[in-house]
Amino acid sequence: MLAAVSAVASVAAVAAVGPAASAQAASAGWSRPVRLASPVRSDVLPALVAFSARGTASIGFSVEDVDAPAFSTGYVVQRAPNGKLTRPRALAGAQRLLSLAYDGGSGELLTGTSPAGFACCSSAQALSVDGGRARTLVDDQLAGASDGRLLGLGRRWLAAMASERGVWVAQSSPGAPFGATTRLSDAAADVVAFDAASVGGGETAVAWAASDDGSSPPQFRDIFVARGSAKSPPRRASLVITAAPGHAIDELEVAAGPGERPRPPRPAPGKPPAKPRASTLSPVPTLVWVESWTDPRGRFRSQVRYADLGRTVRAHALSSASELAAGLSVASDASGEEAVSWKACTSAGSCSVRAALRGARGGFSAVARLGSIDPPETPAVSVSPSGQALLGWIASGHVFAAAASRGARGLGAVRLVSRTNYATDLTIAFGPAGKALAVWTQGTLAQAVMGAEYSSG
């Protein structure tokens, strides 16, 4: 494999793909795949995708020399609504992209970096998609695998960051930079899974699974959640789920749930209780996680479970414990329309896609059993602002997808998006006007970033 310097030089050579080559589908369906960034002789890490309110998509990715991971660089490409692409722009000082998001027409990147000669990441920075000076949010406190989320809150941003050493948040004000960074997790916490999301009504939720009991090896049984709003960042964490002894939380995601009616206010003495309006619902985050354990016969078990964080928090099973669950992917819209997907594998190593849908005021549908998925891959799911769900996955190196309209109890027909034999690391994101973009890495010795557009018609 060539040195990272050669990769950086070649990634800037993007194929000139104009509107004719990346024409949008005239009706519901997928466009032909197009190249977003030319092949490089280094590893291309999974891409991130986000849309502006006007339909411009930003695609962020990192190029890393697997033999010398300190040599890694983040890039961003922009795709106009008519399909026109910019050249990949290197992000100075950014070794890895942790998150990418838009708030209306304003885009932000959350990046990870380390001192020269060290692999990512020890610090996290915020950077405008349009460029400018990076703002350090966590300085030399991250360690091991690092992750992050950016949430647009209407002229405000919430940045949430996590690594093995803890979870931090920072929030901005309109027209002002990010405020002070706050550590949410206990100083002794060992964090294994993390997510953050807007959960409706301007509310936010940051969730993580951790062990802080000092046990060796650590027992990752506890799920913590800190909630905030557009005006106030999350500050106090609550323990909301504790798995049974011998069980562990392997993966965790949080999304906007269906909501619940608030408690009626306590009536004044001598007056009847007030009745809340039928349409009044308070946002309720939904936690979805993969929980694993070893049964009395020594067999490894794992299961997808969920819990709504309302007045009563109760865990429910979403998948069968007879299958090995992994690769969790969850998405929702602001009203609580949810889509959950994962891969179910056998002890022989074959895997297939599972999915369940949930309406804004109902329970989950029956779990759908879809096609096979390559064992190293993870399904990708997105929900549009109007509640349409889109699910994608990779099987035998090909890209497949299925869609569902708002309120549907099941996904539609499976479509072949790309016939390539060498696709990996699929991600999907919805934009405005029923458009979505699927992005994946393609190739073996030389990897390119590819994409295809979906239109709901």
- Can you give the pLDDT at residue 457? 76
| Six-digit token string for 164 | 């093995």
pLDDT per residue as tens, the chain (457 positions): 323 333 433 434 333 333 333 333 334 799 999 999 999 988 999 999 999 999 999 999 999 988 888 899 999 999 999 999 999 999 988 999 999 999 999 999 999 999 999 999 999 999 999 988 999 999 999 988 899 999 999 989 999 999 998 999 999 988 788 999 999 998 878 899 999 999 988 899 999 999 866 666 778 999 999 999 999 999 999 999 999 999 999 999 999 998 776 555 566 666 666 665 555 667 799 999 999 999 999 999 999 999 999 989 999 999 999 999 999 999 999 989 999 999 999 988 899 999 999 998 888 999 999 999 999 999 999 999 999 999 999 999 999 999 999 989 899 999 999 999 999 999 999 999 999 999 999 998 899 999 999 998 7
Q: Which residue, chain included where needed, has tokens 């206990």?
A: 186
- Global pTM? 0.89
Separation CA 329–CA 428 (nearest Å) = 11
> What does each C-alpha distance from 282 to 40, 175, 177, 333 come to in angstroms?
48, 29, 30, 15
- DSSP per residue, 238-256: EEEEEPPTT-EEEEEEEEE
Closest CA to 229 of 199, 194, 209: 199
Residue 373: predicted pLDDT: 98
Cα 24 to chain centroid, rounded: 25
Residues 6+ apart with CB under 8 A from 387: 333, 335, 337, 360, 405, 406, 407
| Per-residue tokens: 286 | 């939904």
Tell me what pLDDT residue 274 has. Answer: 61
**Phi, psi at residue 373, to the nearest 5°?**
-135, 145
d(CA 167, CA 148) in angstroms, rounded, equals: 9
User: Which position has the token pair 């092949």?
Assistant: 39
Phi, psi of 5 (to 5 degrees): -60, -40
The whole-number pLDDT of residue 332 equals 96
Query: How far is residue 234's CA from residue 238's CA, in Å, rounded to a whole number?
Result: 11
- Tokens 């998405």 belong to which residue? 331
Do 432 and 384 contact (CB within 8 A), yes or no? no
- Residue 8 DSSP code: H
Q: What angle (nearest 5°) sits at the alpha carbon of residue 170, between those of residues 166 and 176?
A: 165
